[in-house]
Structure 1
Amino acid sequence: MHPRLPLPEASDGDDLGGFLAWLREAIPQVTHYGIHSPAWDATTLHWKVALDANLNDKGTGFGGALAGETTLLGWCWTTLWLRARGRAQDVVIAEGQQRFLAPVTTDYHMQCFPLEADGIARLEASLAEKERGRIKLVQRVYCGDTLCMEAQGSYAVLK
C-alpha cells in the first residue's frame, strides 16, 4: 500500500488550480487525463479535457478514460463541496453508470452537479445527524454543444 497524500487545506475561494495539482500527485492516473481549467459555479463543477490524452484506436474518446474521468469529476465535486464546509472526510463512489450518446471527436468539457434538487440538503442533514451520507451526481461530457456522454454516480461520504 502506498502512503496517502493528505488533502491540502481549503482556502477562501478555494484554489482549484492548486487542488488539481494535488490531485495529479495523489492519483497518478490523473496526470494522463489531460484535465485543465477547472471552474466552480454555484453547484456545478466544470473542467476541460484534451482529447489527445484519451484517444482510442478509432481516433475518438476512449470509453474507459471517459468513465474514469466522470467518476473522478463526481469525487472531486463531493470533496470540494465538503472542503467548502470545513469537512475533511473521505469520499468513495458507491455506484455508477454511463450512457455513451455520441463519439467524442474533439477536446471536450465536462460538468458535474447534483441529480436531485434536494440532494445537497439531504446530504447536509445526513452529515449533521450521522456524520456520513450520500449524494447522487450527474456528470456530462460535451464536444461543443453536443452531449456525448452522461454518467450518474452515488458518492458516499464516510465517517
Structure 2
Amino acid sequence: MRDVGIPHPRLPLPAPGKRDDLQAFLAWLSDAIPMVEHLGIREMRWEGECLVWELSLVPNLNDKGTGFGGGLTAQTTLLGWCWTTLWLRQRGHARDVVVAEASQRFLAPVTGDYRLTCAPESEHGPETLAERLASRGRGRIALTQQLWCGDTLCLEARGDYAVLPAS
C-alpha cells in the first residue's frame, strides 16, 4: 500500500507514435488508483478517437438495483482522465492531468451492463490542445462521455481536463 501524498510511479511511455497496450495501462491504473479494480471495467478499447469502456453493473449497484449515480459519475470523470492521459502518452508526453470541471445529466436508470464512451467535444479540441502545449506548456480539452445501456442513452457527461506544465 502506498502512503498518502506519494505519487505512483509513471508507466513507461509507448514507442513514439504508438498507442499504449490498453490491458497494461488498465493494470497500471488499477495499481495507481485502487478503486479502479472495483469499477467493473471488463474492456477498454479505442474506436477511432473515442475511448470505450465495457462495464459490469454489479459492482455499481445502488439500493434500488440500478446504477449508483456517484459511481457512474466517478467512472465518467476517470474515463476522461484516461482519454487525455493516453492521448498525451501517444505523443510522447508524460504529464499530469487533472479534471478542472465536470457535469453530468442522468437521463434513464442503468439497469444492466453498460458501455461508456469518451470523445473530444469539438473536432478541433485535440489540435487546439497540441498547439497550447507547444506554445504554453499546458492546456485544456473538453471531453464528452456517454453511458449506454443497450440502445438507451442513460447518462451524458462533460468534463474539462487540464494538462499541467511539466515539472
- TM-score band by shorter chain is over 0.9
Report the Cα distance in structure 2 between the residues aligned to 1:134 and 1:2, rounded to whole angstroms: 25
Distance across 2 between alignment mates of 1:31 and 1:2: 21
- What is the RMSD computed on CA atoms of the aligned residues? 0.9
The secondary structure found in structure 2 opposite 1:7 is: coil
What's the TM-score once normalised by structure 2's chain length? 0.92
Q: Quote the sequence identity (%).
A: 56
The equivalent residue for 1:117 is 123
Secondary structure in 1 aligned to 2:80? helix
2:11 maps to what in 1? 8
Residue 41 of structure 1: CA displacement?
2.4
Amino acid at match of 2:13: A
Partner SS state of residue 58, structure 1 = coil
Map Cα deviations across residues 24-67 of structure 1 (whole Å, 9 max, x no partner): 11001111111121001221100111100000000000000000
Q: 2: CA distance between counterparts of 1:99 and 1:92?
A: 21
Q: TM-score, normalised by structure 1?
A: 0.97
Structure 2 letter corresponding to 1:158: L
Q: Match for 1:3: what amino acid?
A: I
Output the CA distance in 1 between the equivalents of 2:142 and 2:9.
Answer: 25
Name the residue aligned to 2:55: 49
**Unpaired segments ≥5 residues, structure 1:** none
Q: How many residues are aligned here?
A: 159
**Residue correspondence of structure 1 range 2-151 to structure 2 within 5 A:** 2-11=5-14, 12-151=18-157
CA deviation digits over 1:75-133, x for unaligned, max 9? Answer: 00000000000000100000000000000000001100000121111101100001100
Q: Distance between the aligned counterparts of 1:84 and 1:93, measured in 2?
A: 20
Structure 1 position 2, deviation (Å): 4.0
